[in-house]
Amino acid sequence: MELEQARKRVEELVPLLKYYTQMYFDDKQVVSDYEYDMLMKELKGIEKEYPELIREDSPTQRVGASIKKGFEKVTHEIPLQSLQDVFSFEEVREFDTRMQKAAKENGAELKYVVETKIDGLSAALEYKNGIFVRGATRGNGTVGEDVTENLKTVKSIPKKLKEPIDIVVRGEVFIGKEEFEKLNADRLVDEEEVFANARNAAAGSLRQLDSRITAKRPLDIYIFNVQKCDSIDFKSHYESLLYLEKIGFNVNPVKILCNNIDEAISAIEKIGQDREKISFGIDGAVVKVDDLALREKIGTTYKTPKWAVAYKYPPEKKETKLKDIVCQVGRTGAITPMAILEPVVVAGSKISKTTLHNEDFIKERDIRIGDTVVIQKAGDVIPEVVEVKKKKRTGEEVPFEMPTTCPICGAQTIREEGEVAWYCNGVECPAKLQRGIEHFVSREAMDITGLGEAIVEELIKRGLISNIADIYKLTFEDIASLKKNGKKFAQNLIDAIEESKHRDLYRLVNALGIRHVGVKLAKSLCKNYDTMDKLMKASYESLCMKEEVGKIIAKSIYNFFREEQTIDLIKRLKEYGVNMVAEKEEGADDRFAGMTFVLTGTLEKYSRDEASEIIEKFGGKTSGTVSKKTTYVLAGESAGSKLVKAQELGIRIITEQEFDEMSR
């Protein structure tokens, strides 16, 4: 890969992996472990080849995630590091070669301990004089969350040890396979949303702000390391694990002492063979140097110990029958085809349905209703169809076509050029209702203070809101009933709703949630079409002629305003007195008219939104890419590739101080 190609790929991978990591630590896994691992491996390979591309915010340079609001911070005296992943026995042997060299240099005997890599949430437990005094999550490896009260509800954590010792240990909090199945079965009975997987269920349970909720979840823990113990001089890791068992800890039951790497690889293979029999979920096997003094000599990187690796098993695959394909509509309106399967056990879980992602995924693999398919549960988390057994077809299989109308509300479905997903175009679709209302009332839209996520959810649950316009028919009594002693809250919200009726037209246009239309474009549209009626009647051709509106965006706007649900919504909003006319700007200062600014790096005085607002206020516009049409590049701290591009094109680069002077 050439340097420029590598640079572009890093720019794609870093934000993507940061997003996946944050979602994972927020207990919302959106991608399989296997896919995440492959992307991380690709990034590491690029950074190894081109060290100059390593960014400070690269996920390869960081451990864990941010601290959840509501928890006290705990600084780990001994960092809780992550492990270096390997995906082949060849890589395991390469690790052994490095360890043998270190052992020879230090005159040490080299043995390994192989353990299961438990799929849960890592935590540190601190004991004083044998009494459990504090517990914390890993967090970012250095600073975690104080979850002591929650950990006290975990029955397998001893409150008092068999010896009065000061010690800090590390373990993995998890939910066993059978317990997880029962937990989800109970949630179905109670009409609660089921958990996607045991790892997220465990992590979400441990990080509850109310320990009474944690106490109801079947959490367990296995201890796998001594973090700190000044009173005992352990010689080996295996010895320390046996001691932990002796004083009352629930230690990882799979811990195999190996005399050499061949024995370690055999242990990994045996764990893989017994994977379905193990009562808890695993996402690999860990190989650790046993000699603790040798570990000290080998050392660590910022993120990982050099004396251990985590072997990741290849995803398990099983055949089953694809009985049907149904479509689900997400909160954004995206329509996702789902495979309904003959139930099959993969990696210890019964799989009866899985996502087929999008239309292209189905067509590229020629997936048909009635096919025999191969299911893979990548990383023991997300099942997926990886192969169609076409030789097993009988001729009765049925090709699948995406619906032309929404299966929930009947509105037109659309797939725009260059996109893979189909979307429901209905502004009043029940599947999109909560997300649509949350956007409608948000600060940059109609700015209705008090209508937060929880209140919106409760209003929908009680049937007080079934579409966006219903916000304006809410009564004082409706709102007051949501809270105990809620009269003051109700009056404030009624006032905020009434005030929102007088917002400028561009806010309403932004609030409607038209695909590709945000605040910036909404303002531009309302300069050209100063009433809602004019915008609704705008032809596709006239929209295409407007600056910043290409063919795809024009089609999106045109189709949106011709959908019956949109016409009905606007009619109702008019009846409730919501403003449909743009404010007239008098004596506007257009000093930046005709200028295009690109913002890069971190600004000290402004957020990017605030800087963009100033630029637009003075008639200018902002862009996300540097080109010959760019007038200025406003560069803050840690400016990246955009700054380089500007220098190459000879675009004028200004500092925040210069921007301040221009804006006075």
Catalytic site positions: 117
pLDDT of 403 > 50? The answer is yes
- Measured in whole angstroms, how far is the alpha carbon of residue 402 from the centre of its chain? 27
Residue type, 308: A
What lies within 8 Å, CB to CB, of 64 at 6+ separation is: 25, 80, 82, 138, 139, 140, 141, 144
Q: Hey, where are the domains in the chain?
A: 3-61, 78-311, 316-399, 413-575, 596-663
In SS3 terms, 224-277 reads as EEEEECCCCCCCEHHHHHHHHHHCCCCECCCEEEECCHHHHHHHHHHHHHCCCC
**pLDDT reported for residue 332:** 76
pLDDT of 197 > 90? The answer is no
Of 217, 208, 280, residue with least CA distance to 250: 280
pLDDT classification of 23: cutoffs 50, 70, 90: low
pLDDT of 380 > 50? The answer is no
Spatial contact of 268 and 28, defined as CB atoms under 8 Å apart:
no
Instruction: Transcribe 193-227 into DSSP letters.
Output: PPPS-HHHHHHHHHT-SSHHHHHTS--EEEEEEEE
What lies within 8 Å, CB to CB, of 440 at 6+ separation is: 446, 448, 468, 471, 511, 512, 513
**pLDDT reported for residue 536:** 95
Average pLDDT over residues 377-396: 81
Average pLDDT over residues 126-138: 95
Does an H or E element contain 532, and which?
helix 532-537
pLDDT of 34 > 70? The answer is no
**pLDDT reported for residue 381:** 55
Average pLDDT over residues 339-356: 85
- Kindly tell me the sign of the dihedral angle through the C-alpha atoms of 17, 19, 20, 21: positive
Instruction: Transcribe 442-490 into DSSP letters.
Output: STTTT--TT--HHHHHHHHHTTS-SSGGGGGG--HHHHHTTSTT-HHHH
pLDDT of 20 > 90? The answer is no
Spatial contact of 337 and 406, defined as CB atoms under 8 Å apart:
no
Return the CATH superfamily for domain 413-575. Answer: 5' to 3' exonuclease, C-terminal subdomain (1.10.150.20)
Give the model confidence (pLDDT) of 274-290 as tens digits. Answer: 887 888 988 899 999 99
Average pLDDT, the chain: 88
Tokens representing 469? 């316009």
Spatial contact of 414 and 563, defined as CB atoms under 8 Å apart:
no
pLDDT of 589 > 50? The answer is yes
**pLDDT reported for residue 463:** 92
Give the model confidence (pLDDT) of 532-586 as tens digits. Answer: 999 999 999 999 887 778 888 899 999 999 999 999 999 999 999 999 999 876 5
Question: Which CATH number applies to 596-663?
Answer: 3.40.50.10190
Give the model confidence (pLDDT) of 500-532 as tens digits. Answer: 999 999 999 999 999 889 888 999 899 889 999
Q: Compute the distance between CA of residue 452 and CA of residue 168 in angstroms, rounded to an integer.
A: 41
Of 278, 131, 125, 260, residue with least CA distance to 206: 125
pLDDT classification of 379: cutoffs 50, 70, 90: very low
User: Long-range contacts: 654-661, Cβ < 8 Å, 24+?
Assistant: 656/603, 656/604, 656/605, 656/606, 659/611, 659/634, 660/605
Q: Which segment, 44-58, 184-198, 409-423, is predicted with the most confidence on average? A: 409-423
Within 10 Å of residue 445's Cβ, how many Cβ atoms? 23
Q: Compute the distance between CA of residue 196 and CA of residue 183 in angstroms, rounded to an integer.
A: 12
Q: Compute the distance between CA of residue 198 and CA of residue 200 in angstroms, rounded to an integer.
A: 6
**pLDDT reported for residue 33:** 61
pLDDT of 193 > 90? The answer is no
Residue type, 127: Y
Q: Compute the distance between CA of residue 116 and CA of residue 457 in angstroms, rounded to an integer.
A: 41
The 3-state DSSP class for residue 410 equals coil
- H helices then E strands: how many in the chain? 24, 24
- Residues paired with residue 327 on neighbouring β-strands, in sequence order: 337
Average pLDDT over residues 605-629: 84
**pLDDT reported for residue 516:** 86
What lies within 8 Å, CB to CB, of 429 at 6+ separation is: 329, 333, 406, 408, 409, 411, 436, 565
Q: Compute the distance between CA of residue 474 and CA of residue 466 in angstroms, rounded to an integer.
A: 11
E-strand ranges in 591-654 read: 596-600, 621-623, 632-635, 652-654
Architecture of the domain defined by 3-61: Orthogonal Bundle (1.10)
- Angle 310-136-15 (CA atoms, 0-180°, nearest 5)? 55
% of the chain surpassing 90 pLDDT: 53
Do the domains 413-575 and 596-663 sit in the same CATH topology, yes or no? no
Query: Among the CATH numbers 3.30.470.30, 3.30.450.40, 3.40.50.300, 3.40.50.720, which is that of 78-311?
Result: 3.30.470.30
Tokens representing 346? 């993969």
Question: Which CATH number applies to 316-399?
Answer: 2.40.50.140
Average pLDDT over residues 460-473: 93
**pLDDT reported for residue 95:** 97
Higher pLDDT, 346 or 460: 460
Average pLDDT over residues 5-16: 82
Spatial contact of 601 and 639, defined as CB atoms under 8 Å apart:
yes
Give the model confidence (pLDDT) of 479-498 as tens digits. Answer: 998 887 788 999 999 999 99
Tokens representing 616? 């637009």
% of the chain surpassing 70 pLDDT: 93
